[in-house]
Amino acid sequence: MTALWTSLVVLCLAAPGEADDTVSSPDLKKIDRVIKKEPAYAGQPQYGLLVFGPRARTCVWLVLGKSKPTSERYDLLYADLNSNGDLTEPAERFAGQAEHNDVRFALPDFEDRETGSVHTAFTVRASGDSAPTVMVSLKWRDGFKMGGGYPVDPDDGYLKFGNTAASAPVLWANGDGPFRFQLWLDRKLTIDAADHRNDLRFFVGQRGAGASSFWAFQEHVLPEGEPLQATLIYRDAQGKEKRHTSLLSERC
C-alpha cells in the first residue's frame, strides 16, 4: 500500500460559521502582555493568558504560584478576574485542591464585561509538579463545556504556562463561532488502510497563540443531522495532486 502525507484538510460546517480563516480572527500575538501589579511569589511563577469573546478584548491573567518555597506543587492560582491587571487583590488568590497528581482550582462564575456573557463551572487544573501541564475549562454561557489547551499531537504534551508574562501562551475562549479545526494525531496516512490508525480526528474550537493552546469543545455539540464535509488534498505516489471529499458521519 502507498503512503501519503495530508497537505491540507478543508472542512465545511453549515453553521454557525466558516471552518477556515476566511473570517478574520484577532491577532493574539499582539495582545498587551503587561501586568500592572504582581504579588511576591514563592518560587518561579507560571504565566498563562486567557482572552474572551469574538474580538478577544477581555484578558484574564492566570498565574500559578506556590504557597511556600518548599512546596512541591503549584498550589496557588492568581486569576485577574476583573481584568484590571492587578494580581495582588485578595479575592483573586485561590488555593488548589490536590487530587492524586493534579491540583484543581475552582473559580467563580465569570462575566465578560465586553459582551455581558456569563460563563460557569470555571476551573483550572495543573498536573505534575515542577513544570505542570495545565487545562482550563468552563461552560460557555452556562451551556456547552469548552477548554484548552490541546496539542496537535499527544506526543507534544498538553499546555504548559510560561516562565514570564512575555512567554505566556494565549488561550482564546470563544464559543460563539466561527470555529476553526485542528487535527488531532497529525501523522502519515496509508491509502486503503481499514483500521483505526488511519482515522482523521479533529478538535473544533479556536486556535490560541503558543504551543498546545487550542481551545475546544469538550462534549458533543453538533446535532446528528448537521452536515460536516471534509475534502482531503494529497499527492499520490507519482506526485499528482488528488482530492477526496466525503461527509463525516461519526462524532467522537
Residue 94 lies in a domain: yes
Would you state the pLDDT for residue 228? 75
- Counting Cβ atoms within 10 Å, is residue 110 exposed (0-12), middle (13-18) or buried (19+)? buried
User: Is 142 a member of any domain?
Assistant: yes
pLDDT at 185: 63
What integer pLDDT is reported at residue 232 of this predicted model?
A: 79
Mean pLDDT estimate for the chain: 85
Q: Which of 159, 141, 142 is nearest to 150 (CA)?
A: 159
Q: Which three cell numbers stand for residue 106?
A: 475552582
Does residue 210 sit within a domain? yes
- The residue range of the domain holding 121 is 3-247
Digit-coded pLDDT (tens) for 82-139: 999 999 999 999 999 999 899 999 999 999 999 999 999 999 999 988 889 999 999 9
252 inside domain: no
Would 148 be classed as within a structural domain?
A: yes
Concatenate the DSSP letters of all residues of 175-241 into one string: -SS--EEEEES---EETT--SGGG--EEEEEE--BSTT-EEEE-S--S-TT--EEEEEEEE-TTS-E
**Number of domains comprising the chain:** 1
Assess if residue 93 is contained within a domain.
yes
> Does some domain include residue 37?
yes
Residue ranges of the chain with per-residue pLDDT less than 70:
1-23, 185-200, 249-252
In a domain, 46, yes or no: yes
| Contact in structure between 61 and 113 (CB atoms under 8 Å) | no
